[in-house]
Amino acid sequence: MKTNINALLVAAALFAGSSGLAMAASDVQTLPLSATATPGVSAKLTSGEVRKIDTEQGKLTIKHEAIENLQMPGMTMVFKATDPAMLQKLQVGDNIQFAAEKANGAIVVTNIQAVE
């Protein structure tokens, strides 16, 4: 009986942690990590547009299409770059192809390239 209660408590905690709501600030959204994202799967490149670059923080704001491997709809949101040097070759307004993945509790850009 005690084992069943512990299992229910663990299941409830997992469900509560994965069902958070998206938060919006202007047109930028920050999403909780999806329990349905597929870990270990090579991320397919997603199209987007660079809206803002913060080289000091290693972050960029991207208006992007749906990110399939994260099961995330298209939106505008801030991402951290795994390698801040990736941001040096970008400009606001650039059309890009990028890969994003879950890493250490955050969604990060692991690969990015400008599209001409």
Q: Is the pTM of this model over 0.75?
A: no
Place of tokens 């298209």: 74
CB 64 within 8 A of CB 7: no
Return per-residue pLDDT of the chain as tens, 116 residues.
444 444 444 444 444 444 333 333 334 444 443 333 444 445 689 999 999 999 999 999 999 999 999 999 999 999 999 999 999 999 999 999 999 999 988 899 999 999 98
Top CATH class of 22-114 equals mainly beta
Question: Among candidates 101, 81, 103, 100, which has minimal Cα distance to 90?
Answer: 81
Show the CA angle centred on residue 76, arms to residues 92 and 45, nearest 5°: 80
